[in-house]
């Protein structure tokens, strides 16, 4: 696989089989306690900690930035932090849309909700920290791509092999804003596009239905995945036990 061009249809099925490997799953199981201890206090309880969605957006950007140069276990935490960033911005976008409908705020021509979220972050930081608008937009795009790949189970980021990092960060060039019909760029075969990420996800989850079920179950129990059931924050010890028990019969069947 080249990391400088998009994947062909025949390559997608090959690469999809390389995304889930036994050693990646075992690494997650061996380190799941540390992962949960790092994530659950800040993310699961976040609505109780922060007073507003704006503060949640700022915290999500800061979390990504703090993890972005890490290795080993921090690389896995960064994957989830990207997804959490997108989730928080989606909530922010919904709130912004509601405010516009109610006439509480106005939006300039060509401004998207993601742009407003970035403006808000930069204003809150008052240009401190050295993060550029381009870098923040890149974080959002990476989060969207990880969300495509993980589908209904955000914690699946922890069982993907390092191949996933390679394909995730080969980003296509950003589209111009405001976007005009006559300014649409021609597709170039020099990056791994979002539709390719979605095709990879479809191959992965179609080929591993039982893994999908387990990941959704464990993620919802831990409070790290969407659920229709409102639960209290579980003990980390209980989440670790639930994780090991759920994954145990799957190890020998994962490609």
Residue 178 lies in a domain: no
Among 254, 252, 160, 245, which residue's Cα sits nearest to residue 207?
Answer: 254
Judge whether 136 and 65 are in contact, CB under 8 Å.
Answer: no
178 preceded by cis ω (within 30°)? yes
Residue 221 lies in a domain: yes
Residue 3 lies in a domain: no
Q: What's the domain range around 235?
A: 9-172+188-253
Residue 182 lies in a domain: no
pLDDT at 190: 47
Give pTM, 2 decimals: 0.82
Residue 183 lies in a domain: no
Low-confidence ranges of the chain (pLDDT < 70): 1-4, 41-51, 96, 99-113, 127-130, 171-190, 252-255
CA 103 to the chain's CA centroid: 31
Residue 16 lies in a domain: yes
Residue 70 lies in a domain: yes
Q: How many domains is the chain partitioned into structurally?
A: 1
Q: How far apart are alpha carbons 33 and 29 in whole angstroms?
A: 8
Residue 246 lies in a domain: yes
pLDDT at 42: 65
pLDDT at 141: 92
pLDDT at 216: 93
């Amino acid at each position: 696989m080249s990391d400088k061009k998009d994947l062909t249809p025949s390559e997608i099925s090959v690469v999809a089989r390389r995304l889930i490997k036994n050693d990646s799953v075992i690494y997650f199981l061996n380190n799941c306690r540390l992962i949960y201890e790092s994530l659950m206090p800040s993310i699961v309880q976040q609505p109780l900690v922060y007073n507003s969605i704006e503060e949640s957006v700022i915290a999500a950007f800061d979390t990504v930035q703090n993890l972005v140069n890490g290795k080993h276990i921090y690389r896995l935490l960064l994957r989830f932090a990207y997804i959490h960033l997108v989730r928080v911005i989606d909530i922010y976008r919904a709130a912004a849309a509601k405010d516009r409908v109610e006439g509480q705020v106005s939006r300039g021509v060509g401004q998207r909700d993601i742009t407003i979220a970035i403006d808000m972050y930069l204003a809150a930081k008052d240009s401190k920290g050295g993060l550029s608008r381009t870098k923040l937009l890149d974080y959002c795009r990476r989060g969207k791509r990880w969300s495509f790949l993980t589908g209904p189970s955000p914690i699946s980021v922890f069982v993907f092999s390092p191949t996933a990092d390679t394909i995730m960060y080969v980003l296509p060039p950003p589209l111009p804003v405001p976007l005009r019909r006559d300014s649409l760029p021609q597709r170039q075969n020099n990056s791994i596009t979002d539709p390719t990420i979605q095709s990879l996800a479809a191959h992965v989850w179609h080929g591993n239905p039982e893994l999908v079920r387990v990941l959704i179950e464990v993620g919802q129990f831990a409070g790290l995945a969407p659920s229709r059931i409102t639960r209290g924050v579980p003990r980390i010890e209980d989440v670790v036990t639930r994780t090991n028990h759920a994954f145990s019969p799957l190890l020998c069947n994962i490609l």
